[in-house]
Structure 1
Amino acid sequence: MAYISTPTRLQRSIGALLGVHAGDSLGSTLEFKSHANIKESHPTGLRDIVGGGAFQRPAGAATDDTDMTRGVLLAYFDHQQLLDNGQTNNAEGHDVAKLAAQYFLAWLSGDWPGRQKGRRPVDIGGATLRGLEMFKRTQDPERAGAGIGQAGNGSLMRCIPTGIFQTCRREMTQQSMRISAITHDDARCTISCAAYNTVVYALLKEKSPREAVDEALLVAKSLEENCNQDTGCAVEKAIRLGTTLSVADMAENGPESFVGKAKGYVLESLSIAVAALMDIRPLEDVLVDVVRIGGDTDTNAAIAGGLLGARDGVDAIPPQWREKLQFREEFERITKLLVESIERNDHCKQDSYSVV
């Protein structure tokens, strides 16, 4: 195998978060570009984080992908702080989904690093905006969401902290779905987040990529209802498709396997991430090729980067990429604190691999 086989839990955890950030920042330069456009301007791919793109971001700046991932990360940090301080009776403070939603509102309103206070994000998905406006009114994660039929990748891109920091299998599945549903409550989105985080959860336990994907297939199968035996369940089918795809082939020939041309449909982003995970090449080469596919380049690369970082560990991310990332130091610091807390207090170390 080309990737490092034995990174520590801390290295994998930091790698997962910085993998999201690096994929996001690398892909943002070519966001909205088609495969043909990218092949003409970057025939061998964009190999450095240079900024620019549709919104002229500085090199290493977070887009909404990393910003919202940060919101979930901070929610877990706040939750752990309450536990460490003995505040076990603070019910609202222990609702990670609500904490995450409140951070999303802060991000939406401009109370966010790197942005003028009060200034909204330059780029936000329609489902995300509708879901956050609903949460602002209800203050209830169970009564938000953009509704059935909205199946973009806007919750899959941010869900990875749950796979890293929720160490009980059942709660990890439930929280993945609840945090998705704040904005993306369509089952294709909520179940994709649960399946994706199952992969992360397994990789952190040093399962192989194939074993991790098999665990995700079990979760998808258990959560999807009313499946047609001929066509298969949507999320399960997307995962299986990912195991048959070649990232290198899609980078060279385009996203012909996808009706939506990899432009933001959650199931296509999930398939690309699974294909990236199964690709034995170094993380850098795989992420460069994910961006070459075109379409929703930053989000596809962020989602794939999270799995690759969990697989290979932080040292697999090129140093020249890492040093540019806007939230690198914060992500590293918080992850170290949270992983140390997990290692001291994890009551789910022997958690079984029962499905849900």
Structure 2
Amino acid sequence: MHRKTDLPLRRDRAAGVLLGAAAGDALGVPYEFAPRLGGHEEPRMKGGGLGPYAPGEYSDDTQMAVCLAETALHFPDVRGGEARRYAAEAWLRWYREGATDIGNQTASVLAAAAPLSGTGAVAEKMAGTALDRYRSGIPSAGNGSLMRTAPLALAYLGDPGALAEAAWDYSAMTHADPLACEACVLWCEGVRHAVVHGTFDGVRAGLDLIGAEGRDRWRTWLDEAEAEPPGRFSPNGFVVPALQAAWSAVRRTPVPEGESSSGHLRLALEAAVRAGDDTDTVAAIAGALLGACWGASAVPARWRRAVHGWPGHRAEDLAAMGVRIAFGTGRNEAGDPPRSSDA
């Protein structure tokens, strides 16, 4: 049972999940698929990129994560069919109105489901299309599900098993390859554990939530990430090097003495951007975990002032959403969600 005195820290960490992801996203936007930054070049939220984006504007990584956050705000347990339909419709609304950038796999699945919007079958159509693509041999393990699933962790702070189920299912709605689903399980458990305990240990603890075959290969890939710098894992549109680049940035960036939280979060996100290639996605993935561990208060003030994006959110809105998902109506002091009858 968590002590009441832990609540302010855990609230700050919950607030940091979406905000950290958005900060990494906006920091990486200007450098996506551009020449890699040198080791002494400081990434800046200067906008541009593939959008083009305004300075501090986040991209599809956070835009899609916001849709999942909205789903978690409406449904204490997002594993039910109604919640999945809500998320599918939210993604289609984003697809029609706010998709400044979108990956090929996600675009294909959403386009197939769009004609069924409003019919009640849209989530099933997405998942079926994604599964058919995977079974037909079309590459289906891009980083597009990993980049968006972190908010799910806030809905299951007290239930790793339920979180793993939700992370798998929401990945499979667009990315049915087990590699993508396993990556989402690992990273979501990392985020959950970081909010509750304030450490990065949850990513490796998440190995126990996937099957034996996946556990062995992901253990090897995590070992590689801890042994090599982030730039070693590029190109990183594939989910495995995307997670490795993010994990390398988090684990290989030293924690500066005297400024542990803000200094590490900033330096690790800069390292994620310097990995190159899909810079906004790698930094968004890393940012969710860093924000979950160090909290919203660790995000540099100049970044908090700049961060914004579809559908009109700013830093304070993203932080508030995280806290409401974790500790709002229908959840207890530990952030545990009640069980839904539609699971």
Settle same-fold status: TM greater than 0.5. Answer: yes
Aligned with residue 155 of structure 1, among 145, 158, 163: 145
CA offsets per residue over residues 192-222 of structure 1, 9 Å max, x none?
001111111111221532x3233022224x2
Letter in 1 for 2:241: E
Structure-2 change in CA distance of 1:142 and 1:224 (3 Å) = farther
Conserved? CA contact 1:191–1:223, under 8 Å:
no
Conserved? CA contact 1:129–1:183, under 8 Å:
no
Conserved? CA contact 1:156–1:193, under 8 Å:
yes
Letter in 1 for 2:49: G
Aligned with residue 73 of structure 1, among 58, 69, 72: 69
Quick one: distance in 2 between partners of 1:348 and 1:337? 10
The match for 2:27 is: 26
The match for 1:201 is: 192
Establish whether residue 128 from structure 1 lines up as the match of residue 106 from structure 2. Answer: yes
Conserved? CA contact 2:249–2:271, under 8 Å:
no
Letter in 1 for 2:269: L
C-alpha RMSD of matched pairs (Å): 2.7
Conserved? CA contact 2:17–2:150, under 8 Å:
yes
- Where in structure 2 are the equivalents of 1:10-159 lying within 5 Å? 10-35=11-36, 38-39=37-38, 44-80=40-76, 92-93=81-82, 95=83, 97-110=84-97, 112=98, 121-136=99-114, 137=116, 138-139=121-122, 140=124, 141-145=126-130, 147-148=133-134, 149-159=139-149
The match for 2:250 is: 277
Count of matched residue pairs: 304
The match for 1:117 is: none
Secondary structure of 2:219's partner? helix
Structure-2 change in CA distance of 1:188 and 1:344 (3 Å) = closer
TM-score, length basis structure 2? 0.80
Cα offset for 1:265? 1.2
Cα offset for 1:102? 1.3
Aligned with residue 214 of structure 1, among 204, 207, 216: 204
The match for 2:237 is: 264
Quick one: distance in 2 between partners of 1:92 and 1:343? 19
Structure-2 change in CA distance of 1:207 and 1:214 (3 Å) = farther
Quick one: distance in 1 between partners of 2:335 and 2:294? 23
Aligned with residue 178 of structure 1, among 169, 172, 178: 169
Unaligned runs of 5+ in 2: 1-5, 256-263, 339-343
Name the % identity.
Answer: 27
Quick one: distance in 2 between partners of 1:63 and 1:349? 30
Structure-2 change in CA distance of 1:144 and 1:345 (3 Å) = farther
Aligned with residue 236 of structure 1, among 210, 219, 243: 219
Conserved? CA contact 1:239–1:271, under 8 Å:
yes
Cα offset for 1:344? 4.7
Structure-2 change in CA distance of 1:342 and 1:46 (3 Å) = farther
Conserved? CA contact 2:19–2:318, under 8 Å:
yes
Quick one: distance in 2 between partners of 1:154 and 1:187? 13
Cα offset for 1:100? 1.5
Structure-2 change in CA distance of 1:289 and 1:215 (3 Å) = same
Cα offset for 1:107? 0.3
Establish whether residue 299 from structure 1 lines up as the match of residue 284 from structure 2. Answer: no
Secondary structure of 2:328's partner? helix
